[in-house]
Structure 1
Amino acid sequence: MTRKNWLVLAIMLLIGGGIIAYSLRTVNIHLLVRDFFTLNWWWMLVALVCICLYLILEGVVVKIFMKNRYPAFTWKDAMRLPPIEQLFNGITPFSTGGQPAQLVGMLQCGVDGGVASSVLLMKFVVFQAMIVINFLISLVIGFHFIAEKLHALSLLVLLGFMIHLAVIVGLLLVMYWYGFTKRAMNLLIKPCAWFMKPGRYERMRILLNEKVDSFYKESLRMKGEYGKMARVCVVTLLQLFFYYMIPYFIMLALGVHGMNFIMVVSLHVLIFMIISLFPIPGGAGGAEYSFSVLFASFIGSGSKLVLAMILWRLLTYYFGMFAGMVALVVKPDKIKHDVEGE
Structure 2
Amino acid sequence: MSKRNKIALAIMLALGIAIFAFSLRNVNMHNLMHDIVHIHWQWLVVAVICMLLYFGIEALITKMFVTSNGDRFSFRDAIRIPLIEQLFNGITPFSSGGQPAQLIALMQSGVEAGRASSVLLMKFVVFQAMIVINFMVSLLIGFHFLAEKMSYLSLFVVFGFLIHLTVIIGLLLVMYWHGFTKKLISWIMIPIGWFVKKERFERWQVTIDEKVDTFYKESVRIKTQWKLLAKVFVMTFFQLLFYYLVPYYIMLSLGYSGINVVMVTSLHILIVMVISIFPIPGGSGGAEYSFDVLFSSFIHSNSKLVLAMLLWRLLTYYFGIFAGMFALVAKPDKLKRKIEQNN
TM-score past 0.5 threshold: yes
Structure 1's unaligned 5+ residue stretches are: none
Give the Å deviation of 1:43. 0.6
Name 2:7's counterpart in structure 1.
Answer: 7
The match for 1:170 is 170
How far apart are 1:294 and its partner, in Å? 0.5
Give the alignment of 1:255-274 within 5 angstroms: 255-274=255-274
By how many angstroms is 1:10 displaced? 0.6
- 1:35–1:303 contact (8 Å) kept in structure 2: yes
Distance 2:68 2:302 in 1: 52
Quote how far apart the aligned CAs of 1:340 are: 7.9
Residue 295 of structure 2 corresponds to 295
Match of 2:208 in 1: 208
Q: Which residue does the alignment assign to 2:37?
A: 37
| Distance in 1 (alpha carbons) for counterparts of 2:200 and 2:144 | 45
Structure 1 residues 215 and 299: CA distance shift in structure 2, 3 A: same
Alignment of 1:87-236 (within 5 A): 87-236=87-236
Query: Alpha-carbon deviations, 1:47-80, whole Å to 9, x = none?
Result: 0000010000000100111122352211111111
Higher deviation after alignment, 241-250 or 72-81 = 72-81
Q: Deviations over 1:14-43 (max 9, x none)?
A: 111111111111211211121111111111
Contact 1:84 1:102 in 2 (8 A): yes
**Distance in 1 between the 2:312 and 2:60 partners?**
24
Question: Quick one: distance in 2 between partners of 1:70 and 1:219?
Answer: 17
Q: Give, in whole Å, the separation in 2 of the partners of 1:115 and 1:174.
A: 17
1:110 Cα deviation after fit: 1.0
State the Cα deviation string for residues 183-234 of structure 1 (Å, max 9, x = none). Answer: 0101101211222122221111111111111111112112211100000000
Using the alignment, how far apart are the partners of 2:337 and 2:135 within structure 1? 40
CA distance in 1, matches of 2:173, 2:91: 31
How far off is 1:337 after superposition?
A: 4.9
- Structure 1 residues 11 and 340: CA distance shift in structure 2, 3 A: farther
Q: Indicate the residue corresponding to 1:328 in structure 2.
A: 328
Paired with 1:54 and 1:337, the residues of 2 have a C-alpha distance of 28
Which residue type is aligned with residue 154 of structure 1? S
| Greater mean deviation of Cα atoms: 14-23 or 232-241 | 14-23
Question: Secondary structure of 1:46's match?
Answer: helix
Aligned to 1:240: 240
Counterpart Cα distance in 1 of 2:208 and 2:340:
26
The aligned counterpart of 1:277 is 277
Aligned-pair distance for 1:84?
Answer: 0.3
Q: Is residue 41–residue 253 contact of structure 1 (8 Å, CA) maintained in 2?
A: yes
- Percent same amino acid at aligned positions? 60
Amino acid at match of 1:333: D
TM-score, length-scaled by structure 1: 0.97
Aligned length: 341
Using the alignment, how far apart are the partners of 2:24 and 2:335 within structure 1? 50
Whether the 8 Å CA contact 1:77–1:332 is kept in 2: the answer is: yes
Kindly report the root-mean-square deviation, in angstroms, between the aligned alpha carbons of the 2 structures: 1.2
Q: Report the equivalent of 2:17.
A: 17
Tell me which amino acid in the other structure corresponds to 1:80.
Answer: R
| Unaligned stretches of 5+ residues in structure 2 | none
Regions of 4+ moved over 6 Å:
none
CA 235–338 in structure 1, closer or farther in 2 if over 3 Å, else same: closer
Structure 1: distance between partners of 2:51 and 2:336: 33
Who is 2:52 aligned against? Answer: 52
Contact 1:57 1:239 in 2 (8 A): yes
**C-alpha separation between the residues in 1 aligned to 2:107 and 2:78?**
12
- CA offsets per residue over residues 101-123 of structure 1, 9 Å max, x none? 01000111111111000000000
Cα separation, 1, equivalents of 2:148 and 2:194? 43
- Contact map agreement 2:84 2:327 (CA 8 A) in 1: yes
What residue number does 2:63 align with? 63
2-side partners of 1:136 and 1:243: how far apart? Answer: 17
Is contact 2:61-2:235 (8 Å) kept?
yes
Give the Cα–Cα distance (whole angstroms) in 1 for the partners of residues 288 and 339 of structure 2. Answer: 47
